[in-house]
Amino acid sequence: MLSPAKRASAMPRSAIREIMALAAERRDVIHLELGEPDLPTPEHIVTGAFEAARAGWTRYTPNAGIRSLRELIAARVGRSFGAPVSADRIVVTVGAVGALFTAVMAVADAGDEVLIPDPGWPNYESIVHLAGARPVRFTLRPERGFLPDLDELAGKITPATRAVMLNTPGNPSGAVFPEAIMKGIAELAGRHGLYVISDEIYEDLVFDGRHVSIAGLGIDDRALVVSGFSKSYAMTGWRLGYLACPPHLAAIAATLQEPITSCASSLIQKGGEVALGGPQECVDRFRTLYRERRDVVVEVLGPTGLLPVVPAGAFYALVDIGRSGQDSMSFAKSLLLAEGVAVVPGVTFGPSSDRFVRIAYTAADRDLRTGLERLRRYLLG
């Protein structure tokens, strides 16, 4: 029998899907492992997509996306950057993960190193691996609020380092990088000639402090900003993201869409136009809801010492399971069997996180509280 490609078969696997599969086999499970909004896409966006389909928006688009959508995205990005951004720098992708893959492929060659956060979304490691580059982890420690240590980060840079990957607000910690940290990373990138790939998909879900985009800090020529529609507008299944590129990389990033996806769905792109061009009350409503749910997490787990850091954004929290005496995968499986609560093993986000599990506060309020109380009882008795 012929063997599969070595790069594909050696790709790191995510434990998130493993827990989801186990949870699907059981009844009455409280799902705290799902990192997606539990709310429906706002009706005006759905209606807009239907109208676009009826109007004939069912054909290919340019690789970079429909110009009118890119102009709306450029206006949004420009507000975040604090300076006008040309639509020519925007590439529309199939989900934010498509933007991440495009960014890495655009800047990293085989043998290059890309610095990735630990804990960090497991797809970062997988994408770098598939690009033929080498992921090198820098640690986000709970005692530092899951924020990077700039000295440690600088110590990871070698002649082979090509890029630094960031995520703020962060998955799985909910940490929001303050301006001083972002400026420090921008300075490191400028001094060492590195690209910065900044995953800012949770930019609208900040509860404490404010979101600071890396591209607003004077490194326009080396910042690649990833975002999309899935979290801000409850559009996870629509698969619509975008990449804001340095001017000299935009054409390359657009060309990369051709062998991967050709283009994002035309009618989905029209739905994105409605999302950005229509009323934004839904974004404010989602942010308020997740802040309230975050506060429930703090209420139930905060006094116990199980919550090392209060999340400042996104809709995740890391829970300390050190007193259980189990590794995070064993704990997640045993919690699911004993209490019917699904959580994600911390180790899937990096080796430094095996003493944690991740919860997502995207469940309905009553389920969230019940699941948290079961988790607390299982750990503390």
Same domain, 239 and 323: no
pLDDT for the residue 3: 86
- The model's pLDDT over 150-183, given as tens digits with 9 standing for 90+, comes to 999 999 999 999 999 999 999 999 999 999 999 9
Encoded tokens for 237: 């299944």
Share of the chain above pLDDT 70, in %: 100
Same domain, 55 and 20: no
pLDDT for the residue 16: 81
pLDDT for the residue 8: 85
- The model's pLDDT over 250-291, given as tens digits with 9 standing for 90+, comes to 999 999 999 999 999 999 999 999 999 999 999 999 999 999
Q: Is residue 118 domain-resident?
A: yes
Instruction: Give Cβ neighbours of residue 146 (< 8 Å, ≥ 6 apart).
Output: 119, 140, 170, 173, 174, 175, 309, 318
Q: Residue 137's pLDDT band (boundaries 50, 70, 90)?
A: very high
pLDDT for the residue 279: 95
Same domain, 235 and 342: no
The total number of structural domains that make up the chain: 2
- The model's pLDDT over 57-115, given as tens digits with 9 standing for 90+, comes to 999 999 999 999 999 999 999 988 888 999 999 999 999 999 999 999 999 999 999 99
Beta carbons of 272 and 94 less than 8 angstroms apart: no
Please state, in angstroms and rounded to a whole number, the distance separating the CA atoms of residues 267 and 162.
36
> Whose CA is closest to 137, among 120, 123, 150?
120
Same domain, 63 and 95: yes
Same domain, 102 and 22: no
Same domain, 152 and 285: no
Same domain, 117 and 257: yes
Kindly report which listed range (31-40, 138-147, 295-304) carries the lowest average pLDDT score: 31-40
pLDDT at residue 233 greater than cutoff 90: yes
Q: Is residue 366 domain-resident?
A: yes
Q: What is the pTM of this model?
A: 0.95
Please state, in angstroms and rounded to a whole number, the distance separating the CA atoms of residues 147 and 212.
14
Q: Which of 213, 247, 277 is the last residue of a domain?
A: 277
Q: Is residue 196 domain-resident?
A: yes
Same domain, 84 and 142: yes
Please state, in angstroms and rounded to a whole number, the distance separating the CA atoms of residues 285 and 306.
28
CATH number for the domain harbouring residue 355:
3.90.1150.10
- The model's pLDDT over 20-72, given as tens digits with 9 standing for 90+, comes to 888 888 889 999 998 889 999 999 999 999 999 999 999 999 999 999 999 99
> Whose CA is closest to 155, among 164, 146, 147?
164
Q: Is residue 1 domain-resident?
A: no
pLDDT at residue 11 greater than cutoff 90: no
Which one has a higher pLDDT value, 3 or 236?
236
Radius of gyration of the chain (CA): 20
Strand partners, 226: 199, 243
Q: Is residue 58 domain-resident?
A: yes
Q: Which of 249, 277, 305 is the last residue of a domain?
A: 277
Same domain, 266 and 372: no
Domain limits for position 228: 43-277
Instruction: Give Cβ neighbours of residue 188 (< 8 Å, ≥ 6 apart).
Output: 150, 153, 154, 157, 164, 194
pLDDT for the residue 6: 86
Share of the chain above pLDDT 90, in %: 88
pLDDT at residue 14 greater than cutoff 80: no
- The model's pLDDT over 339-380, given as tens digits with 9 standing for 90+, comes to 999 999 999 999 999 999 999 999 999 999 999 999 999 999
CATH number for the domain harbouring residue 137:
3.40.640.10
Q: Which of 227, 250, 277 is the last residue of a domain?
A: 277
Same domain, 70 and 90: yes
pLDDT for the residue 222: 95
According to the 3-state scheme, what is the secondary structure of the chain?
Answer: CCCCCHHHHCCCCCHHHHHHHHHHCCCCCEECCCCCCCCCCCHHHHHHHHHHHHCCCCCCCCCCCCHHHHHHHHHHHHHHHCCCCCHHHEEEECHHHHHHHHHHHHHCCCCCEEEEEECCCHHHHHHHHHCCCEEEEEEEEHHHCCEECHHHHHHCCCCCEEEEEEECCCCCCCCCCCHHHHHHHHHHHHHHCCEEEEECCCCCCECCCCCCCHHHCCCCCCEEEEEECCCCCCCHHHCCEEEECCHHHHHHHHHHHHHHCCCCCHHHHHHHHHHHHCCCHHHHHHHHHHHHHHHHHHHHHHHHCCCCCCCCECCEEEEECHHHCCCHHHHHHHHHHHHCEECEEHHHHCHHHCCEEEEECCCCHHHHHHHHHHHHHHHHC
Same domain, 347 and 267: no
pLDDT at residue 13 greater than cutoff 80: no
Same domain, 338 and 293: yes
Encoded tokens for 51: 């109208």
- The model's pLDDT over 321-345, given as tens digits with 9 standing for 90+, comes to 999 999 999 999 999 999 999 999 9
Instruction: Give Cβ neighbours of residue 27 (< 8 Å, ≥ 6 apart).
Output: none
Q: Is residue 28 domain-resident?
A: yes
